[in-house]
Amino acid sequence: MLRRRTVKTALTAATASMLLFGTGSAEAAGASEQGSVNEYVALGDSYAAGTGLSPQTNAECKRASGSYPSWIADTYKPAVFKDVTCSGATTRSLWNKEGSAAPQVNALTTDTDLVTVTLGGNDLGFSDVLTTCVLAGLTTREGTPCRDKAASGVEAGFAKLNTRLPDMLTDIKRRSPNARVVVVGYPNPFPADGSACGSSVPVTKGDVAWLHQTTNRLNIMLQLAALTKQAEFVDTSSVFQGRDMCQSSSAQWINPLLPQTPGSAHPNAFGHLIMASEVAKRLGK
């Protein structure tokens, strides 16, 4: 397993291995050089926690080593690393408990000089939406039955995020005024065209397109909030193009919906390494 190495070293080794077996691309390599970080706090949901990876470091939050925050910590070696990411977290989890997990903002201090945050997907009820889409797709592969049923709830989530995302960044900066705040966007789990999706992604073509558009819309909202609040944004979707869950297993950086596992619809181990690479590139600017 790739651990305790910098993102750049790990990417070089992993890419060489993938090229050897014909499953990767040299374009993936190239993280920034190691910088100086004293106190790093990672905030976020399952896409930051590494849900589905092993070994787990926190069973309740489904947090695992091999997540993109773990790679960033291994690369920059901060004196203090606080990973409070948690599966199921919403923007409200910043200020409220998620299960027995303390509010995530409690980890922030005036000494924090790096914060990464990936939040917003659960505010849209994305997990429930995917369940709805699969159940609909098992009975028909035509139309947009999932969108027809779930769109109103997703729209309500977007309306809440209009204020919650700016509030989130305002409070992070208030608690850690000297921190570099990096909003890490979501890699898109779905392609723009669902024609190639097989039995492991039982969703209609129309609903695949809607889910793709919804993820893009969320990322645009995250980027605008970051711009408005003088934070930084890392786009992960661009580098994941052609690596979504509908690709062949050797090309996937995101796990398919079926068979259902804790990591379904989440980045796999290499996907998290790629996300870390994109974050490291930004930190090197």
Query: Which residues are identified as catalytic?
Result: 46, 266
**DSSP characters over 93-155:** GGTS-BTTBPPGGGG--TT--EEEEE--TGGGTHHHHHHHHHHHHTT-SSS-HHHHHHHHHHH
Q: Are 61 and 107 in contact (CB under 8 A)?
A: no
**Whose CA is closest to 266, among 235, 244, 242, 241?**
244
Query: For the chain, how are helix, strand and coil distributed in percent, rounded to 5?
Result: 45, 10, 45
**DSSP characters over 48-89:** HHTTT-SSEEETTTTEETTSHHHHHHHHH--SEEEE---TT-
Distant-in-sequence, close-in-space partners of 248: CB < 8 Å, separation ≥ 6: none
Q: SS3 letters for 67-78?
A: CHHHHHHHHHCC
SS3 275: helix
| Cα–Cα distance list, 118 to 9, 80, 144, 226 (Å) | 24, 20, 28, 12
| Per-residue tokens: 247 | 């690709």
